[in-house]
Chain A
Amino acid sequence: MADLGEDQVAEIVVDTGVDPAGVPIVSVSGELDSSNAASLEATVAPLAAEHPERLIFDLSALRFMDSAGIAVLVGVAAKVDSVKLREPSEAVRRVIQLTGLSGVLPVESSS
């Protein structure tokens, strides 16, 4: 699980919003790894508790994700009935695929 060490923190921007249908959307951009997964966790946990039915992760601007990042998504998927990923990059898509999590973290069907 990728580790940049003490002094290096990968850059990540987390933004929350609501789509027209009222589904909360969490946009994550940058590089998500063990150095910043906790900050995403802190943002998402209360949101997941508030909306236990549906949640969308917009990963269109996420360039890299390691297993620590996946752990956060998986943790959310365990608490929320339906978690979908929006436009994950190829790198993110492959990590999810190779980890066997395509069923747990399905990609949103293009609308």
Chain B
Amino acid sequence: MAGVAFLLGLAVTAAFALTSFVLYDHNEKHLLRLRARQVGSVLTATVPSIQSTLASAAELADATGGNAQKFRVFMAPYAGRGHQFASASLWPLHAAKPAPTVVVGTRPVLASLPKQAHSLFTRAEHSRLLNITGILGSAHPSLGFEFSTPGVKHRFAVYVENPLPKNRRSALAGNSAFSDLNYALYLGRSHSPKNLLVTSLHRFPIKGRHASNVVPFGDSAFTLVVTPNGPLGGTFFASLPWIVVIVGVLLSLAAAAMTDRLARRRQYAEQLTGVLDRVAAENHQLYTEQRGIAQTLQHALLPDALPDVGGLQVSAQYVPAASGVDVGGDWYDVVAVDDRRVLLVIGDVSGHGLQAATTMALLRHATLAYAAEQCHPATVLTKLSHFVNSSEHEYFATVLCALIDVDSHRLTIASAGHMAPLLIEGDDNRYLRLDANVPIGVERKSDYRETAFSVGPHSTLVAFTDGLVERRGEILDTGLARLREATGTRRLPLDEMVAMLIREVASEGHEDDTAIVVVQWQT
């Protein structure tokens, strides 16, 4: 990832650098062309100054018949050591052998070159321009300019000459307007080395960026080649591509480092997620284990077997709450008091956990002890209430206690705040009307009253805890009606009936634990 970010950064950098370089290059070329044109203009501007001096001197010679003294006086400011021209001379035209009559400054090289002199002056007779010689001589090459006013009465030509600088090299002054350029000046329209007049360059041929410009000069022309000393548009623009490259590479490195860091963070987050998943899985396992332990404990606290009493069928079921690790507080017991009587107890200790389970176990065993004394339900509850005192614990228990006489079809029931059982008697099913006494543990001294019922043959009694009928968002009567309806329609074997009630009446989520005990007379 980091590598990709780096390469991407480099690609973008390269694109920017290339763009800025192309722009820079284009700009430099344009500037160089402009500079070459400017230098050309300066060169062109020197033509009239040379021509006018020469024209004036030629007029003077014609007017004075070639007076040497007057020519010398006139040319003195122009020619000689330290002046514009090294040599100035006056030449009569139409001579069979051209030769200077007056010389100011050094002797012209042209004087010793009759062929060139002849050619120049023949050319000059028909020319209205400043005539330029070729490069004269080889030891000390010079360049000469001639001017004569064409016409019948004109008989003299003025000729000036300058030696080319040593090695034809001349640097421009540092303060010159063109100090940012190197140049090469050639005679004629081509830049062949033999025509080189003067240059500031040391190496030929010229390489790199250069511009050439042909400047008309008199009857000939100069070819000017310029090349920049440095960036014409300023050093900043020249450095721009490099600045872009350096900044870009740095940014790419930073991006790569950042990407690397982000990737590491992500990796770390993924690792963390993995750890958290594992912890969650372990927690779940722990929860399942604890829940298993709680359920094992709960079942251990419930009776192993129900009594087998002739003429009475019994079925019971305990369903723990769907979630939670605590031991619930519901319990039930069905014990044979003697051959023909059975005591049914079902209860619900408020709260959960070990303390509720301990209380539940205590109540259960106490109930069994009282049952062994053949106590009546109301007495059992009264005795139980002495056991638990809510001022000492923050919970209480609802208990239903029913003494069932199989043969006489009698039922004696007392309730300590517990929901009344449902009696199914033939086609009729109803909740028994009981005194709603306070739960065990609420008041230390409670009077529990019992109610006796005579039940018809094959009657069924359904005792349950609130988990079966209690649902959030509805009042208890709705749940009670649901139970009544479920038992009213079908006649099922007892075990199937219990399973059906848990399945169809209890809330789907089994929010609370539920106990249900059903007894049925066989006769």
Contacts and interface: CB of A to CB of B under 8 A. Distances in A.
Contacts of B476: 91, 94-95, 98
Contacts of B328: 1, 3
Residue among B437, B443, B475 with most chain A CB within 10 A: B475
A9 interface: no
A75 B418 CA distance: 18
Interface string B424-449: 00000000000111110111000000
A70 interface: yes
A71 B396 contact: yes
A66 B329 CA distance: 13
B393 to A, nearest CB: 9
B473 A6 contact: no
Contacts of A101: 417, 438-439, 442
Contact of B396 (A3, A8, A74): A74
Interface string B319-348: 001111110110000000000000000001
**Size class of the contact patch on chain B:** 35 or more
Nearest to A75: B394
B146 interface: no
Contacts of A99: 398, 417-418, 436, 438-439
A78 B395 contact: no
A90 to B, nearest CB: 5
Contacts of B472: 2, 31, 64
A1 B436 contact: no
Residue among B322, B348, B395, B441 with most chain A CB within 10 A: B395
Interface in B453-470: 466-467, 470
Nearest to A66: B470
B324 to A, nearest CB: 5
Interface string A13-41: 00000000000000000010010000001
B110 interface: no
B348 A67 contact: yes
A100 interface: yes
Contact of A67 (B398, B415, B420): B398
A94 B481 CA distance: 14
B63 to A, nearest CB: 126
A6 B287 contact: yes
B116 interface: no
Contacts of B398: 67, 99-100
A95 to B, nearest CB: 6
A41 to B, nearest CB: 7
B438 A103 contact: yes
A98 to B, nearest CB: 6
Nearest to A92: B475
A75 B473 CA distance: 25
Contacts of B391: 78-79
A49 interface: no
A63 interface: yes
B465 to A, nearest CB: 9
Contacts of B513: 1, 3
B511 A98 contact: no
A46 interface: no
Given A6-B287, A34-B351, A66-B470, A74 B512 contact: no
A109 to B, nearest CB: 20
Contacts of A1: 328-329, 348, 350-352, 466-467, 512-513
19 contacts: A1-B348, A2-B511, A3-B328, A3-B352, A4-B511, A70-B350, A71-B351, A71-B395, A72-B394, A74-B390, A78-B442, A98-B420, A98-B436, A99-B398, A99-B418, A100-B398, A100-B439, A101-B442, A103-B438
Given A67-B348, A99-B398, 9 more contacts: A2-B467, A3-B323, A3-B326, A6-B325, A78-B390, A97-B436, A98-B420, A100-B415, A104-B438
